[in-house]
Amino acid sequence: MTKHFIPLDRAVSFVDPPDHARVRSVVAPYFTQRGIDRHRIRAHQLMEERCRELEAVGAPADLVRHVISPFALGMISEVMGIPAGDQPQIRAWAQTILTRASDDAQALRAEEAKQAARAYFSSLAAQRRAEPREDVMSALVAAVDAGRIDEEELLALATLMGLNGWHAVCNNVTNMMFVLLTQPQLRDWLHRHPGQILPAVDELLRWIPHKHGVGQPRVATEDVEVGGVLIREGEFVYVSYVAANWDERVYPDPGRIDFERKGLPHVAFGFGPHACVGPLLARMEAEILVNTLTGRFPTMRLAVPSENVAWQTDVLIRGPVDLPVTWSPSR
């Protein structure tokens, strides 16, 4: 997918069973429905702060800068235990590392950012070792101390979750808002069905082609037949969840967004042992962002023609650079 490698070498994405489950099991309890629900009240508080800032700035304003990006960063930081003052630095590292390096100078900058993020999480781990809290960083430290994982596994997982947890939600929800702002019939549907936000979020996750690349290759460890195709030991397989989500044998008329679609779940979060760690967190964030923005700013619309919205071209997950919006004050 890229000439220069994106995640840290020991990241969970590259680990096979049984080590893979050993590492993931440390953080899994924090991403269950119960684990995520603990953050719901704080999520609403953060969203309220973001809406107030948007209102204070006034129309037109950039929805990514004032609402979606800081909210997504605030939420993953809340779960991980990253202090507010460190969050801008996390975002800067994520943007550098998750942007495809097109030359050696950029690759070097990304490598430096990876090392800086690694050092940062190492020092945060030391703080949590001295003073544990109810957060993922403290759980990772406790697992190192109990001999369940080693320090390198802690650093690779913390970096992956801290950086991707912002990047993925920020870009996916910005995509969702772009879709809703350019297809008013979908917003009308949401207003008419206020209790149906989660199925709507899932249909948007299915429909949005979120990745620039097809993802990480899998390597067959033995001959295996999948869907009538023989894959020989050592061969590479690129699994495109984006293509799978538009498979017309599974989702009739896949290019149409249908909030009443019934049937098989989508695979935007992957499938199998390596499926995403954070779907419930991502869904809760998307639900609160979309629900609050469409409910509180019913007249919100793009402040520029949709074709003038600029898209990031070199990042891992697609998304607009910014989303200039305007609205009429409603209260």
Q: Which one of 147-155, 223-231, 266-274, 299-307 is the stretch in contact with ligand HEM (CB under 6 A)?
A: 266-274
Q: Which is nearer to ligand HEM, 72 or 110 (CB)?
A: 72
Confirm or reject binding of residue 36 to ligand HEM (CB under 6 A).
no
Q: Identify the residue among 168, 176, 204, 325 touching ligand HEM (CB under 6 A).
A: 168
Q: Which one of 114-122, 138-146, 166-174, 246-254 is the stretch in contact with ligand HEM (CB under 6 A)?
A: 166-174
User: Residue 315 contacts by C-beta under 8 Å, 6 or more apart in sequence?
Assistant: 95, 98, 99, 100, 167, 171, 212
User: Residue 31 contacts by C-beta under 8 Å, 6 or more apart in sequence?
Assistant: 277, 278, 279, 280, 281
Q: Which is nearer to ligand HEM, 177 or 303 (CB)?
A: 177
Confirm or reject binding of residue 268 to ligand HEM (CB under 6 A).
yes
Q: Identify the residue among 92, 275, 310, 321 touching ligand HEM (CB under 6 A).
A: 275
Q: How far apart are CA 207 and CA 281, in angstroms?
A: 19
Confirm or reject binding of residue 209 to ligand HEM (CB under 6 A).
no
Q: Is the peptide bond before 29 cis (omega within 30 degrees of 0)?
A: no
Chain residues 48-87 in contact with ligand HEM, contact rule CB under 6 A = 76
Q: Which is nearer to ligand HEM, 142 or 304 (CB)?
A: 142
Q: Are 159 and 114 within 8 A, CB to CB?
A: yes
Q: Which is nearer to ligand HEM, 101 or 268 (CB)?
A: 268
Which DSSP category does 195 fall into? G
Q: Which is nearer to ligand HEM, 210 or 261 (CB)?
A: 210
- The least distance separating ligand HEM from the CB of residue 179, rounded to whole angstroms, comes to 14
Q: Identify the residue among 100, 114, 210, 261 touching ligand HEM (CB under 6 A).
A: 210
* Secondary structure of residue 212 in the 3-state scheme: coil
User: Sign of dihedral through CA atoms 137, 138, 141, 142?
Assistant: negative
Encoded tokens for 191: 């207003």
How many residues bind to ligand HEM according to rule CB under 6 A?
Answer: 24
Indicate the helix (H) or strand (E) that contains 189: helix 184-192
Confirm or reject binding of residue 187 to ligand HEM (CB under 6 A).
no
Q: Which is nearer to ligand HEM, 157 or 302 (CB)?
A: 157
Distances from the Cα of 114 to the Cα of 7, 88, 107, angstroms: 8, 15, 10
Q: Are 137 and 125 within 8 A, CB to CB?
A: yes
Q: Identify the residue among 1, 4, 5, 13 touching ligand HEM (CB under 6 A).
A: 13
Q: Which is nearer to ligand HEM, 116 or 276 (CB)?
A: 276
What is the gyration radius of the CA atoms in the chain, in angstroms?
20
Confirm or reject binding of residue 24 to ligand HEM (CB under 6 A).
yes
Q: How far apart are CA 101 and CA 87, in angstroms?
A: 23
Look at residues 122, 76, 108, 114 and name the one whose alpha carbon lies nearest to residue 95. 114
Q: Identify the residue among 140, 143, 156, 277 touching ligand HEM (CB under 6 A).
A: 277
Confirm or reject binding of residue 282 to ligand HEM (CB under 6 A).
yes
Confirm or reject binding of residue 315 to ligand HEM (CB under 6 A).
no
Q: Are 299 and 293 within 8 A, CB to CB?
A: no
Confirm or reject binding of residue 269 to ligand HEM (CB under 6 A).
yes
- The least distance separating ligand HEM from the CB of residue 51, rounded to whole angstroms, comes to 21
Look at residues 85, 88, 121, 145 and name the one whose alpha carbon lies nearest to residue 11. 121
- Is 230 buried (19+), middle (13-18) or exposed (0-12) by CB count in 10 A? exposed
Residues that bind ligand HEM (CB under 6 A): 12-13, 24, 76, 160-161, 164-165, 168-169, 172, 210, 216, 241, 268-270, 274-278, 281-282
